[in-house]
């Protein structure tokens, strides 16, 4: 990768245009800004000095080979600009961008909503089973190259059904690519169907029923999209139906929304993992609860940076959360939009927070333990992690 995106993706800081929003009460940007201020004042770390290239190279190779699971990945968010332009041409979709570089330039955000506006526009090029196959296969090839042995991926059916692309189009494409990747590369996969929380709870229930033919192929359900103003309690009925069908439940919470949304996800929806969850730190009782329960947070550092939840990776609180006993995992969220896949998230976070290899091994170990795979499969991946770590003379 070269050009502006390469430059951007190497940055550990971001200048966020939050000033104009700061007087708007309850706006996501103003909440994010307050959170960033709180995190900045809570850390004594100096901002990232230029890293030694040899150190970066050695660390990068260590991370890439480290067996890990990815637990927070939106498949539609892996749509690279090149594929977006290619699929638009294939399907005769007109784009408001002249070329790939113009798309890249548009991938610049000030908050979650500004990202979502472009994200939904990009998804419009996905129209046929072959498109969904290509999207899924490209991500799995990329994840495999990053040392991912297991990935539990989100998809947003309502983004497609709202434009009359049905389950019978995207599900066969996804499932065939997953089967091929398992056969060809040995990557273990699972699909988590997310409900869009800016839509009503009744729409989530309808979506759950519309997916009936594919319930057996799903690992679980989740909740994503615009968080603030859309609390988890709106989705109790859909999540209860999912639980009755034997599906796992996860929820985005505490990214831009308050800690009470995390509590709501646990109490009202029975969430088994919390996606993001970084604002848990504002509620000591919740911190104790998460530490005691071992419920994992699927943290996405580069996403938090690009969406201005923080404006410097050195300000990220994930190490403090881990030190407080929470189960932290590192993930890429929407890698095509946020400047890097999972290994890049490990690397940039390690450099910004001065993490050790042992810290990274701990996050990888957590990611395997937090999968919904069988205990036997988890044990096998943990053995390969231990073997890998032993090979480096490290104790994990």
Taking the complex as a whole, how short is the minimal distance between the CB of residue 276 and Zn ion, in angstroms?
Answer: 7
Q: Which two tokens stand for residue 79?
A: 């749509």
Q: Considering only 81-89, 143-151, 328-336, 339-347, which stretch makes contact with Zn ion by CB under 5 A? A: 328-336
Q: Does 348 contact Zn ion by CB under 5 A?
A: no
Contact at 8 Å (CB) between 70 and 342? yes
Stretch that binds Zn ion, among 98-106, 118-126, 213-221, 329-337 (CB under 5 A): 329-337
In this chain, which residue has its C-beta nearest to Zn ion? Answer: 333
Interface region with Zn ion, contact rule CB under 5 A, candidates 109-117, 330-338, 353-361, 367-375: 330-338
- State in angstroms the smallest separation of the CB of 302 from Zn ion: 12
Q: In the bound complex, what is the minimum distance in angstroms from residue 168's beta carbon to Zn ion? A: 26
Question: In terms of Cα–Cα distance, which of 120, 196, 214, 202 is closest to 158?
Answer: 196
Residue indicated by tokens 């603030």 = 228
**306 or 357: CB nearest Zn ion:** 306
CB 314 within 8 A of CB 352: yes
For residues 126 and 299, which CB has a smaller minimum distance to Zn ion in the complex? 299
Residues in CB range of 178: below 8 A, 6 or more apart: 136, 140, 189, 191
The residue among 72 and 365 lying less far from Zn ion, judged by its C-beta, is 72
281 tagged catalytic: no
The nearest distance, CB 52 to Zn ion, in angstroms, is 32
Judged by CB under 5 A, does residue 333 bind Zn ion? yes
Q: Which residues contact 393 (CB under 8 A, 6 or more apart)?
A: none
Rounded Cα gap, residues 250 and 254, in angstroms: 13
| C-beta separation of 345 from 44 below 8 A | no
Beta pairing partners, 298: 275, 329
Name the catalytic one among 70, 76, 80, 255: 255
156 binds Zn ion (CB under 5 A): no
The residues annotated as belonging to the active site are: 255
Binding site for Zn ion (CB under 5 A): 333
């Amino acid at each position: 990768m070269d050009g502006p995106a390469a430059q951007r993706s190497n940055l550990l800081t971001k200048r966020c245009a939050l000033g104009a929003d700061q007087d708007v009460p309850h706006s996501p940007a103003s909440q994010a800004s307050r959170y960033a201020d709180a995190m900045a004042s809570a850390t004594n770390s100096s901002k990232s000095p230029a890293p030694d290239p040899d150190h970066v190279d050695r660390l990068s190779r260590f991370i890439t080979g480290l067996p890990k699971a990815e637990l927070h990945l939106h498949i539609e968010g892996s749509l690279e600009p090149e594929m977006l332009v290619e699929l638009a041409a294939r399907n005769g979709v007109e784009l408001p961008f002249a070329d790939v570089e113009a798309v890249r330039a548009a991938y610049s955000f000030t908050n979650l909503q500004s990202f979502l506006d472009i994200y939904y526009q990009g998804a419009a090029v996905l129209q046929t089973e072959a498109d969904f196959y290509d999207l899924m296969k490209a991500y799995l090839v990329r994840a495999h190259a990053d040392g991912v042995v297991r990935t539990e991926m989100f998809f947003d059916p309502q983004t497609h059904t709202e434009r009359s692309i049905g389950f019978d189009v995207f599900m066969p494409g996804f499932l065939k690519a997953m089967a091929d990747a398992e056969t060809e590369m040995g990557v273990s996969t699972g699909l988590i169907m997310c409900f869009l929380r800016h839509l009503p709870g009744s729409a989530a229930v309808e979506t759950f029923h519309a997916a009936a033919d594919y319930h057996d192929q799903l690992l679980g359900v989740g909740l994503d999209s615009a968080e603030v103003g859309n609390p988890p309690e709106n989705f109790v009925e859909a999540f209860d139906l999912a639980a009755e069908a034997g599906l796992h439940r996860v929820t985005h919470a505490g990214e831009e929304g308050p800690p009470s949304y995390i509590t709501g996800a646990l109490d009202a929806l029975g969430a088994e993992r919390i996606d993001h969850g970084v604002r848990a730190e504002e509620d000591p009782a919740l911190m104790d609860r998460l530490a005691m329960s071992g419920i994992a947070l699927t943290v996405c550092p580069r996403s938090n940076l690009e969406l201005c939840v923080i404006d410097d990776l050195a300000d990220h609180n994930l190490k403090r959360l881990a030190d407080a006993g929470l189960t932290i995992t590192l993930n890429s969220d929407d890698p095509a939009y946020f400047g890097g896949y999972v290994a890049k998230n490990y690397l940039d976070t390690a450099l910004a927070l001065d993490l050790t290899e042992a810290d990274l091994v701990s996050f990888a170990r957590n990611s395997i333990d937090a999968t919904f795979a069988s205990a036997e499969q988890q044990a096998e991946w943990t053995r390969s992690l231990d073997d890998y770590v032993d090979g480096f003379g490290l104790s994990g």
